[in-house]
Structure 1
């Protein structure tokens, strides 16, 4: 029965998200995908098209024509595709069978679990209870474990109900605060609009007064000038008439010429007298407008149109803190460290200037009681005051919040990672046609280990990129992490397991090790300082290595979806995750208890993939931008671009060598040529980075 269920599960997985189908939709080629997955695929295919042209099946590339979706947006096409009712019914039936079937032992597949170990909080079969849990103090039968919990279920239910009630009160209170912020935002906007209207009305009134004066001056001065113009026209016209008459009578009528000659002289004298009088009284205008510089000075001296103060007071529902109580830093929510993913200039914009460089989400000013924040002041960071008090973060609206790459100081440039492309190598072996490298790692010896989901295998290469060994899996593997020079762990998402594989470099072989069963599918994994982080679509699990066993330290619900990759720093104190898919585009850094330290986001980066710590820096493969960028691990500040080479097509996973002198980069996309998809890129990292890398633990 278990074998049949396992075989059935392999055909009920969406090839895009690697999870069980959710609302499966069928294309004309009869391939099925989750509704959200195929919708994301459709939007990505058509995002650069001015006119949508349909889309190809992600599996077989068969075209689905646009005729079926005429008049609809690409975002709505998936809802118009036929639902695969057969798959939906099979999934429902399979879930029902799994819920009613006995639980199988993860180590002994032919055994059912009969016991529950309270010490390790795991189920065990009869063999495990006598071997792995022989020294445990509290190993009970399933019936005893159920009875023990049923005795306390009513108390727990009451506690949970009380917890829900108290939380709902807090939730309502917080919602009131949200409404308060929004209402205040509207009030401030309205006040600014009124202020703007008053300024515009003032200038309109002043403009009318000045234009009225100009019209009056124009009417008065133009009257006198027009009279002078008319006199000039009369003199010219009479003088021309006299010349014409004299020329006609001089030869044809001498008597008339003699008779009128004296009249012409007399008329000339009269006109000349008028002309001399006009010249004596002729004046030119000098028109000059003197602006009121006091207004201009006032605008120049005003560096803001108002100030915004934020004061935190004790909440109405807040309980008094007993004297002498020490706050637990692991559980405390540090409001002063909260970072928003949206830029403040977009929500309270007074200036329209915006930096064109990649900018992370900026800090929202959070202050202690009786401290204020001036929106008109400059600076996103402030130094500590001389008296040791916490400084108040300040932000000037409209100024860039992150320096462009060109303005990075020499000191900051010293901490920039630089990478130089060395070579690439082919990972396809024997008769393999296409490879999809889901994970990559470099051992201390320089040997390389890769997971290939297309061929369901783990491959070993030497330091000169020659193939050495391979081991096959029954399902497609995911990411991998190095535990030691002789051991790696591999994610098996379809089985919700992490599998150990032992590496024998001298013997050129790979042998299977123990298996760790997880609560859900995990696609990415990272190991450092005896701690392992496993990442599912929405959770991060932290395990501690104790001898040959794993003990779970923490389960972190990130409260987001579509988590893609995870990385632990060398001290295993911070964990950073990337989110995949539209519109998710953030990188989140937390401590290992789940407290969020910072978030990096940018509207143009929608597909951050592989991620790795490089000392106090973080390298991120940006799938849609075809670059490797660098973030500051302390505060998530964007430092610059590490790799933007013509060899990059669709960067996916990246890993660094233990020495920090080498980086591997995998690429995958259905549009890539197979020979390029089968290559892993190798980069040499700068020497300056090595001094800053944390020493391997």
Structure 2
């Protein structure tokens, strides 16, 4: 270990012997020769230790802090790898779908153009055929009259000559008028002028998509105390014909980056995919048990938590597809505790049991490895650890205490910071934190959706209440695509959507 410390990081064959105060760098003889010959504060290490000291305990703590940050960053990057792969597959399919749409649009243009071409051809041919028929008729009639006139000339047939003459003059006039109205021209044909604007416009584009970096910095300026103001409220139906229960119970909501919404229906043991406007249930899956909660894992993957297990569900080509069932490290399918809530943060899963918050790591083999002890525990009676959420920077964990009507705030290591209560928060069941850090909580018994300030001391706004028609809210999510808050309800076939100003 001493050899490791004494060796120069740049010139591994040399030992360190000097310290440059000008650059705060340890140096070997080669370092001095190459980079520090002009430095004025260059001393032997044996001399520097007399005037410069190092706090080993503080240094050790700093190392542990830095290691923690590195591991945190590593987990984030590792978690992004499957997310990027999932995004790649999803966008690849979307590009193919766009190409199919372009092909369909071009097919439609082709069919329309061919139809127009056929109609023009038919019109021209009809006109030309009519001209041919008229010419043939006039020709035949004049020919007959000409033959009849040639047989006349007898004095006894003056009246017949007069009649024939008049008929000939009338027919000649008819023919001349027709020729005047339809002058002899060059041969008629169709001229096709291609719409080259389409080709030119397509050639201006180098790609079917504009690719942007989806990386978001957690250091961006946020205002968690910006008050959310509701502009309008509406309700959308989520019940489908195959539901077995009379009403739905939307226990969890998740908004995908694509704008689609996934809801967990506890009553009907179903997971449902809604379109971007919440109007249509475009896909649904019947699951084996009642889904308790849902969280997003990647751009097209979510995790559903049941009574004792976690199931991945993927969105592929606009359809919900069952993924793999997560197993414990001992290959058991059931977790060793009850499960009520789930959240995904920096590659790890955080699961609530009703009385404790557990931290699980997802292994590369798709298994769950539970950290030795719970992050937070409250066994004073009832459901004290219900749902959880994270602050955008990942430094804080928010937990709902349903039994005691509280919003609990913890540090990332589970240390209790604060407890929030309010008369308008009775039976807290739904919890969400916006990308800006605004904390939104649903009160099941108080029939409210409220916003709490970033210090968790005061209620900032009541976003919805019973007087607005809200009854038994149980889940909530913020849609960053549309600036809307979606609320799931107990014993209701609808979700509530609040549009913000």
Taking structure 2 as the reference length, the TM-score comes to: 0.50
Q: Greater relative contact order: 1 or 2 (C-alpha under 8 angstroms, separation 6 or more)?
A: 2
> More strand by proportion, 1 or 2?
2
**Length-normalised TM-score, structure 1:** 0.36
